[in-house]
Structure formats: structure tokens, C-alpha cells
Structure 1
């Protein structure tokens, strides 16, 4: 067998191995590790459907929509704030959250500035922004005058990702 043929055979085996891993992941339909960790955090803070509030930040609207569905499927009352939400609707979301009309607010960084959400005391950063200013802005949504509880902020980082390698 020539070197070229051996190289091609090695590549084929590597691709077949990767395909097998992908098929197994699809068949398993596994629960993402971050979602499992988020549920553990909710349990730790006694946040359950109908009880307690949570603020979740993500950088991406697609992720926010997915998280909205996850929380809704788990029985939480949930709303979403992202860049397409106009000023009036944004204000209504803020007021609704502060009045405890819903439990979970999933937000992109569109909700990271100029909005008070101190009715919650637990926040999840689903992904970490590269800008420390944005990170500080996110955390500032709960650290407000009128906050009655200790604030808990969790940064969810998957170790086997680019984000995990940077954090590690």
C-alpha cells in the first residue's frame, strides 16, 4: 500500500469515527451539560416552577430562544428580551419581572444596560462575553438599590470549548 493510500485510509477511518460519534450523540439526544448545571443551581436556590426568579444572559438570540423553550418546557413562566424588543416592550418586561408576573427572564446583552431587575437574586451567564464591561453591566442588573438578598451570579463554562480553554 502506498503512503498516499495509507493517508487516505487514515482520513477515512477518522471521518468514520467522527460520524459514529455524531450518530451516537443524535441517538442519545443527550441533555446539554450547561442545562444540567443550571437545574442544579436552581435547586440549590430553591427556584422551581411557581417559586423564585432567575435572570439568564446569553450573547446570542438563537440561544435565548432555545433557553426560553427549555424553561417553558420545564414549567417556568418565562419571557425573553433581545435586540428586536422596542423600548416600550422592554419597559413592560422590566415592570412585569419586578412585579413577579413571570419567573425567568432570558436576555441577550440588549438587557444588559439601563434596566433594573433586582427582584431576582440569582443570575446565570449562559455564555461569557469577551468584554469585561459587558460582563459588569450584566451583573449590575441585580446589584441595584432595593436588592433585599445576597446576589448569586454563575458563569456557565463548558471546559471542552473555546470559552473553556480561555477561562482555564
Structure 2
């Protein structure tokens, strides 16, 4: 159950969008556009946007560089989560993660089942944390991006969401790296 505590102030989050595709450009990136629109409509800040090819090393390098950027809190990638040989986004994400958020993929599958039935089994959406930054790998369709945002991320990236959310624990994501 999603509940917003109106007594708390909204905290905008800085979100980067990465499209993984061998064929898309910014001119025809419908999934990236879908995410950007939802991010800004929710009151968050688009911190960066880019497109990289379906290359594991290139994807991981872009993710690491954005994780190292103090002006980026969250990275949403779209594309490359399927089962074909070129689908390497999940592997690139896992190369970067310090901790995986296993339940994200589970909840995404549950949401997808309500929309596309058993076809949801073909998605490998995943989430994790690295260098104090949240990372989520979403499928490359605009519908899947809408589902991930509207049913999961809009709530978890809202500080007012109860009983808990990702934003409230952001300051502690890298506490294990700080000197005591």
C-alpha cells in the first residue's frame, strides 16, 4: 500500500537516464523520453541523459562514472534486460553493484504480470546500490518504463512515502566507507 505523508516536505532527487541501444538516438528514444517526462512531472531533477550501445564495458563505465558524480543520486537505465545475446545491461549493472536490491526485480515482475501476463518472465529488470547511488535496469519498452516508474519508483523515490522509501536512507548508503 502506498501512502504519502503530506506533513513531510517533498525532496527532489537527481536522476540520470541511460538508454542502452544499438539503434536509438535522442530523437527517437521513446523509453528515455517516457522516463524523463515522469521524472520531471514528479518534481525530480534530470541530472544527465545519455545513450550507449549494447556493450557491457561501455555500460558499466557509464554507470561507474555517474555513480562517482556527486550530482547524481539515482540512475535509471532502459534497454538490454532481455534474453538475447546483445542484452548485457543486467550483467553490466551487476558488475557495478555493491549491493543488489533483489526485491526490485520481484516487484517489477509482479507489476508486469498484471499487465502482460506470463510474458513478464522474459524481463530481467534489476536494482542495486553503488557508491551511494541507486541504479535500476528497466526493460526498453515505454510501457515497461511507465510500469516501473508509476508502480514502484515514483513511490520509493518520494521522501514522503510511508512506511519507508529509498530517499530517507540515501545519507547512509555509503556509511560503511566513511572513517569512524
Task: Specify which structure has the bigger relative contact order, considering alpha-carbon pairs within 8 angstroms and separated by 6 or more residues.
Answer: 2
Higher percent of residues as strand: 2
Greater C-alpha Rg: 1
What TM-score range do you get, normalising by the shorter chain? 0.3 to 0.5
Q: TM-score, normalised by structure 1?
A: 0.36
